[in-house]
Structure 1
Amino acid sequence: MALSLTGTRISLVALPWFVLVTTGSATRTGLVVFCEMAPYVLVKAFTGPVVDRAGPRVVSWSTDLTSATAAALIPLLHVLHLLTFPLLLALVAVIGAARGPGDLAKEVMVPEAADRGAVPLERATGVAGVVERLASTIGPAAGGALVALVGPLTGLVVNAVCLVSGSVVVGLVLPHGMGRAAKEAAPGPDGAAEPGYWKRFGEGFTFLRGEPLLLTVIVMVAITNLLDAAIGSVLLPVWARESGNGPAAMGLMSSVMGAAAVAGSLIAATFAHRLRRRTVVLVGFLLAGAPRFLILAADVPLGAVLGVFVVSGFGAGFINPVLGAVLFERVPRRMLGRVNALGDSLAWAGTPLGGLLAGAAVAAAGLVPTLLTCGILYFLTTNLAGLRREWREMDRARHAAAGTEAGEPVT
């Protein structure tokens, strides 16, 4: 996870900057992000049954190799003067389509790792969150430095190397027998065959539809992910260019936020299983969301911006460990792939539009009005969702799970 996520975070700085400086267009930058994230969401939604049946291990290493190949072709074709904008969009789409199943496969192996390590789910998801936040710290810093010193194409090459390395670790280094296909329920007395793809998919859809808490969280996260994509892929690069701070500031801001998120995730990994989940999530979103947009809209020194990003990162570090534990507790282990796939895809459904809409909004209304609007939307979304009745079940689910076996559904 550390290797593949670090490479991806480097690419998040290098690729938008490459498009922005070569085309000068915020709209085209948003279009590139859309062409990566739309296949990511769409393919991920339909690969859950495949992950459950083939096993997350084989899906993880094979898709990482596919992403690495497409990422390496971008700088190669550019050097050979063969990289047209449509071809760039196609390669980015391949990267996104392969990343979706790869990320899903790694997520599905987290509860198995928790079982092997005999640790609470909050701690396991917290450790996974620490890894993600470390990648969000190291990746943008490395990406910003690479872009500033040797150009954005080097960042894409490093991304490919990281993906290949991660594929080797998953394929060859994980414990023997880890990441195998999920076991389905035993066939009935009529000797019915193992369920096919569409039956598996339908089971995941039916299960998710009957979980109001998960659905509410997914809708809220879908909106916040859209806004996060807007700031990360378009608004922040445009701000860096217009303010004169450049790509190095982009990397620094993302890195200090990631470092603070690492601290938050470490605390969550240690203490989250003792805290009230609903309160932790709501406060985390309050710190992580609107302040970032509002500070960028204000004409303040870079030091003040960095301070706000530190606070936002600390709050963000608490969110995923709690939400991940809630998901893993409520979903049967044999259905983790298909339910995670649907849930993640719905949660990421707005992400492809984030950069696209942000680019269009900046072109039409300017940077500051767009930042203010996004900040207000973030605040309203997270607070209104947290008031819903089903959110009280977050803490009930933890207490109920204490009396159930790992991976069994909680009612």
Structure 2
Amino acid sequence: MTTATAVRSPLRSPQFRRVIAAEFISSVGTQMTTLALPWFVLMTSGSPARMGLVFLAQILPVPLLSMPAGLLVARWGARRVTIVGDLCSATLAATVPVLYVADLLPFWALLLIVAGIGCVASAYLSAQRMLLTETIDLDEGVVTAGNALFETATSTARLVGPAIAGFFIAQFGALNVLWIDAASFVVSAALLTGLPRRATTPQASSAHNMTEGVRYLFKDPVLRTMSLAALGYGTLMPVVLLALPVIAKSRYDADPHAAGWLLAAWGGGTALGTVVVARLARKISPPRLAAAGGVGAAVVLWLLPWDQPVTTLMLTVAASCMFLPGVTAPAVSLMMLRPPEHLRPHVFPVFGAAVFVASPIAYGVAGVLFEHLSVGTVLTAVAVGASLCALVLLNLVRRPGRP
């Protein structure tokens, strides 16, 4: 591991700042849609299961297409994939209100459009991270700090977006919020268009390297353990996210402002956590940082099942999410730096699949569970699962001879 004290901060790179700005702007629009679209379905149908299907349709393509998406990123380059993804996402987001105004938006059509957004995201997510590493020095501490700053932009958008969305939903209706999302993707594409192109390695797009990337991930003990923990959090945290609008509807008189503030608390806690992780990244090794984040998140998640005023619930949600960047930023930096350079475009999508593979099932099952069980019962099960994930990460730190 290299000491990063002499390496300049990622924020000194103008290219890195443009990537961060593009991520923040597009994420604000996305987070507004994250509240507006499920809220529209929940209010018009009254069914948490249908709301869960919307989340399911959006997230399902990510694990299914993550490996082919890695080949696409390796062949086209991260910059081109990200720009094309921005433009496709803008078009799909704008299609929803257009079809609704024309009275041509049955539920199955909405699911198809949302699935299209998920297909774009399957390549977009890994391309964004690869684009980030192209703008900073490939030092472990710097990349971890860069990923933490990247997540700061995303999580700050999670704070700002839902709060704004709650206001706009009450004033103009849920689907009109999607116009803002479409515009944010256009601005993001414009910011990334001027970035210098980076030559791609021809052999990186071969199926052989994809297979080698999978083998490397499962042979490396650190990456394998991180992927196992990521699989656990990929199962549990979507349940918490889906619970927030359900809680707003059942406990707080179906107030869209309450739903917005709960999702904003999710983003605010994550934003605070990313700032802390960015400062600690050069002082604490990624495995130890991930273990600390996992333990902290597990402890606070035990407070979520209790019935409480919306203010204290917001603080609890924020506190639980504050520890998550301590897990995700180190995991992403290790996935980017431990493999050989020619395998990195293939290892990271496999890791992304580990994160997202359980999410579609979690969204689908959670929607049904919330129709038959109390929210507190489901969230208690989430706290148990998070505690097991924390034990997995602690085992990585305590293992003798850890790489």
Asked if Structure 1 and Structure 2 have the same fold, meaning a TM-score greater than 0.5 normalized by the shorter chain, the answer is yes
Paired residues for 1:209-288 under 5 Å: 209-233=218-242, 235-244=243-252, 246-288=255-297
User: What amino acid maps onto 2:274 in structure 1?
Assistant: S
Q: 2:375 aligns with which of 361, 367, 381?
A: 367
Q: Distance in 1 between matches of 2:278 and 2:401?
A: 17
Counterpart contact for 1:278–1:391, Cα < 8 Å: yes
Q: Distance in 2 between matches of 1:38 and 1:314?
A: 26
Counterpart contact for 2:204–2:345, Cα < 8 Å: no
Q: Distance in 1 between matches of 2:333 and 2:382?
A: 28
Q: 1:386 aligns with which of 374, 379, 393?
A: 393
Give CA-to-partner distance per residue, 1:334-371, whole Å, 9 cap, x none: 32221111110122101111211111112222322212
- Secondary structure of 1:377 counterpart: helix
Shift of 1:299: 2.0
User: What amino acid maps onto 2:208 in structure 1?
Assistant: K
1:47 and 2:69 equivalent?
Answer: yes
Counterpart contact for 1:268–1:317, Cα < 8 Å: yes
Q: 2:185 aligns with which of 139, 163, 168?
A: 163
Counterpart contact for 1:126–1:321, Cα < 8 Å: yes
Give CA-to-partner distance per residue, 1:77-107, whole Å, 9 cap, x none: 1111110111111111101000121121111
Once the two structures are overlaid, the 10-residue window that deviates more, 117-126 or 141-150, is 117-126
Q: 1:183 aligns with which of 174, 184, 201?
A: 201
Counterpart contact for 2:231–2:354, Cα < 8 Å: yes
Give TM-score scaled by structure 1 length. 0.86
- Secondary structure of 1:152 counterpart: coil
Shift of 1:119: 7.5
Give CA-to-partner distance per residue, 1:43-77, whole Å, 9 cap, x none: 22321122112111111111221122111111111
Q: 1:358 aligns with which of 361, 366, 370?
A: 366
Paired residues for 1:284-363 under 5 Å: 284-289=293-298, 291-292=300-301, 294-363=302-371
Unaligned runs of 5+ in 1: 185-193, 398-411
Once the two structures are overlaid, the 10-residue window that deviates more, 112-121 or 354-363, is 112-121
User: What amino acid maps onto 1:345 in structure 2?
Assistant: A
Shift of 1:5: 2.0
User: What amino acid maps onto 1:321 in structure 2?
Assistant: A
Counterpart contact for 1:141–1:252, Cα < 8 Å: yes
Once the two structures are overlaid, the 10-residue window that deviates more, 55-64 or 204-213, is 204-213
- Secondary structure of 2:148 counterpart: helix
Q: 2:131 aligns with which of 93, 105, 109?
A: 109
Once the two structures are overlaid, the 10-residue window that deviates more, 278-287 or 147-156, is 278-287
Partner of 2:84: 62
Structure 1 pair 337/119, CA: closer, same or farther in 2 (3 Å)? same
Partner of 1:189: none
Give TM-score scaled by structure 2 length. 0.87
Shift of 1:14: 0.9
Q: Distance in 1 between matches of 2:179 and 2:295?
A: 36
Partner of 1:33: 55
- Secondary structure of 1:153 counterpart: coil
Partner of 2:214: 205
Tell me how large the CA RMSD over aligned residues is.
2.4
Counterpart contact for 2:291–2:394, Cα < 8 Å: no
Structure 1 pair 338/376, CA: closer, same or farther in 2 (3 Å)? same
Structure 1 pair 119/80, CA: closer, same or farther in 2 (3 Å)? same
Q: Distance in 2 between matches of 1:359 and 1:140?
A: 21
Counterpart contact for 1:133–1:317, Cα < 8 Å: no
The number of aligned residues is: 380
Q: Distance in 2 between matches of 1:201 and 1:116?
A: 22
Q: Distance in 1 between matches of 2:336 and 2:303?
A: 35
Q: Distance in 2 between matches of 1:46 and 1:99?
A: 12
Partner of 2:154: 132
Structure 1 pair 114/196, CA: closer, same or farther in 2 (3 Å)? closer
Once the two structures are overlaid, the 10-residue window that deviates more, 214-223 or 57-66, is 214-223
User: What amino acid maps onto 1:15 in structure 2?
Assistant: L
Counterpart contact for 2:58–2:117, Cα < 8 Å: yes
Unaligned runs of 5+ in 2: 1-22
Q: Distance in 2 between matches of 1:252 and 1:169?
A: 29
State the identity as a percent. Answer: 26
Q: Distance in 2 between matches of 1:116 and 1:228?
A: 30
Shift of 1:230: 1.5
Structure 1 pair 42/356, CA: closer, same or farther in 2 (3 Å)? same
Q: Distance in 2 between matches of 1:368 and 1:300?
A: 11
Counterpart contact for 2:92–2:113, Cα < 8 Å: yes
Counterpart contact for 1:134–1:258, Cα < 8 Å: yes
Q: Distance in 2 between matches of 1:333 and 1:152?
A: 44
Structure 1 pair 202/118, CA: closer, same or farther in 2 (3 Å)? closer
Partner of 2:9: none
